Structures are given as structure tokens and as C-alpha cells.
């Protein structure tokens, strides 16, 4: 049981580390267009992201797939930027639900990319190839992501009800702020 809490806590802390805020930025833009009424969709999206993340950790941990860290560090801000741009172009449009199937698949794929970003860290903290430790780490990541989701939903509720922002403006502002934060990451990790 001690190992469970160790790996769970490492997963939790790794996502909530303010020096590595790219994961948090992705979760923020992923859930920016939703409210508490859409909690099921959000839970599915966040869990799909974690599943993709865990699959890539498994693949990297067992040496099935090896991806250049410079490519991953470049692709992670791309995933955040693409998600934020999707929000900008679909904010306030009713047809967003029609694109949800594609959004689920894309979120799963983006989870794969982010998982490869954690692969080196996980290999460093785990001396053995125990799948159980990886799953415990993944549960910590999922819990941290859900903490971020709840905080964003609470903030959205406050801004939209107390300060009377409409949902479209909320999505545009949050997505634009995230784009502003991710562009320096993209420039810093530019590989071309």
C-alpha cells in the first residue's frame, strides 16, 4: 500500500508542478468550453486523455516505442495550441456536439503525445518495469487532472454567473490566454 501512495502522489505532483505547467494548460483548454452540466463529457475527455497517456507510458517503459524527446517537447505545445484554436473557432456555436466524436479521438491521441513527455520521468522514478506502479502513477495523474477540471469549472461558474460573462466570451478569453502562454513554449522547443 505504501508503493501505491508513493506512485499516486508522484503522478499527482507531476501534473500540478508549476514549473511544468504544460499539462495543466492542456486540461484548462480542454475543459474551458464546458460547465458542470457537461460533467460526463468532461470526465470522458479527461479519462481518454489519461488512457492515451498511460498507453504511451507503457509503450515507452517496455521499449516498444521510442520517440525523440525533442519532437515530443515540440508536439506538446502544438496539442495545446490546436485545442485552444478549436475552442476559438467553435466558441458559441451549437454544432460543437457534432464534432465531439472527433474531439474524443483527438484527445486520446494528444494523451499519447503527452504521455511520451512523461516517459523519461517515469523511467527515472521507477527502477522496475512493474505495470502496477505505472497504473498507480496514472491514477495520480487522473486525480490531478480532475482537480484542475473542478477548479476551472468553479472559476467559469463564478465568472459567468457573478461577473456576467457569457460562455462564448469566457471560452475566447481563456483560450486566448492559453495561446499567449503556449507560444513561448512553442518557440523555445521549435525543431525546424
pLDDT along the chain (192 residues), means of 10: 87 87 95 93 94 93 90 96 94 68 92 90 75 91 95 96 94 98 96 89
Full residue range of the structural domain in which residue 38 is found: 2-188
Cell matching residue 167: 460562455
Residue 125 confidence (pLDDT): 77
- Largest Cα–Cα distance of the chain, in whole Å? 52
Residue 94 confidence (pLDDT): 66
Size (the chain), residues: 192
Angstrom distance (rounded) from CA 79 to CA 55: 17
- The domain that holds 154 is classified in CATH as 1.20.1250
Task: Pick the closest to residue 169 from 47, 87, 79, 111 (CA basis).
Answer: 87
Residue 99 confidence (pLDDT): 65
Single pTM value for the model:
0.92
* Cβ atoms of residues 25 and 80 within 8 Å: yes
Look at the chain and report how many structural domains it folds into.
Answer: 1
Residue 105 confidence (pLDDT): 94
The DSSP string of 114-152 is HHHHHHHHHHHH-SS--HHHHHHHHHHHHHHHHHHHHHH
**Which residues, 6+ apart, have CB-to-CB distance to 151 below 8 Å?**
none
Amino acid at each position: 500500500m505504501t508503493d501505491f501512495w508513493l506512485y499516486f502522489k508522484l503522478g499527482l505532483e507531476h501534473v500540478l508542478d508549476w514549473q511544468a505547467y504544460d499539462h495543466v494548460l492542456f486540461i484548462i483548454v480542454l475543459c474551458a468550453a464546458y460547465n458542470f452540466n457537461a460533467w460526463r463529457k468532461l470526465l470522458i475527455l479527461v479519462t481518454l486523455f489519461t488512457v492515451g497517456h498511460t498507453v504511451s507510458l507503457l509503450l515507452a517503459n517496455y521499449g516498444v516505442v521510442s520517440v525523440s524527446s525533442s519532437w515530443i517537447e515540440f508536439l506538446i505545445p502544438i496539442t495545446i495550441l490546436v485545442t485552444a484554436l478549436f475552442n476559438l473557432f467553435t466558441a458559441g456555436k451549437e454544432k460543437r456536439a457534432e464534432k465531439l466524436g472527433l474531439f474524443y479521438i483527438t484527445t486520446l491521441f494528444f494523451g499519447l503525445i503527452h504521455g511520451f513527455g512523461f516517459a523519461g520521468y517515469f523511467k527515472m522514478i521507477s527502477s522496475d518495469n512493474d505495470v502496477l506502479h505505472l497504473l498507480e502513477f496514472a491514477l495520480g495523474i487522473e486525480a490531478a487532472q480532475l482537480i484542475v477540471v473542478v477548479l476551472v469549472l468553479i472559476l467559469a461558474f463564478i465568472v459567468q454567473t457573478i461577473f456576467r460573462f457569457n460562455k462564448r466570451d469566457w471560452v475566447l478569453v481563456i483560450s486566448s490566454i492559453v495561446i499567449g502562454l503556449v507560444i513561448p513554449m512553442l518557440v523555445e522547443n521549435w525543431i525546424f
